[in-house]
A = this chain, B = another copy of it.
Amino acid sequence: MPKITFFNLPEDKKETLIQAVKKEFSRVPLYDASITNIIKEASISRGSFYQYFEDKEDAFFFLLNELTKENKYIFIHLLSRNHGNLFETMIEFFRIIVSEEENFNFLKNTFLNMTHRIENTFARSFSSTDKNENFEIFSSLVDKSNLNISNDNELFYILQIIAAVTFRNFVDKFARDLTVEDAMNTYLIEMNLLMNGLKKSNI
């Protein structure tokens, strides 16, 4: 978490700083990013940076969190518009993320260097790391009547599976520079397999 000093900053200065942080993390992934570049871009001193953030990671995760908040908002919106249909919602959500242009490079650097912590942060967009408050919200919005589960608890595993597969598809999209349509095609095939099962169903 950024320090209080950061949040006390006047709006315009804060915005300049955020843009500088975003620029650097769009240029290179977390571990290659340089604080020196950020402070040059934002025209602040080295010391100031450390008054605002704990370190490089702190700044990165602040940014990622902001993005995730927006995505979560989008996801919740889609879910209710689709009357709780999880699969329809995931497919629409997937399209929105892979079509994203403004944050393209930031997303690319982030997905291609997805550590456990980054994945967990991002996953809050549409799922939940733990069985926490997030999970309750999602659970209440999802139409469970046509899911292969006997109790709420099992929804958790379904979300885990969908998250895992969705992530892999995000990464693939960026790693292989797929077009939006190619990425969508693969994702649709895999979501269908997920829905219907990988095992041949008995006739």
The residues of A with any CB-CB pair to B shorter than 8 Å are 31, 87, 111-117, 119, 145-148, 154, 157-158, 160-165, 167-168, 171, 175, 186, 189-190, 193-201
Contacts and interface: CB of A to CB of B under 8 A. Distances in A.
B147 A161 contact: no
A112 B115 contact: yes
A163 B157 contact: no
Decide if the interface of chain A is mainly helix, strand, loop or mixed.
helix
Total copies of this chain within the assembly = 2
Contact of A199 (B111, B115, B148, B168): B148
Contacts of A193: 148, 154, 157-158, 161
A119 B113 CA distance: 10
A115 B167 CA distance: 12
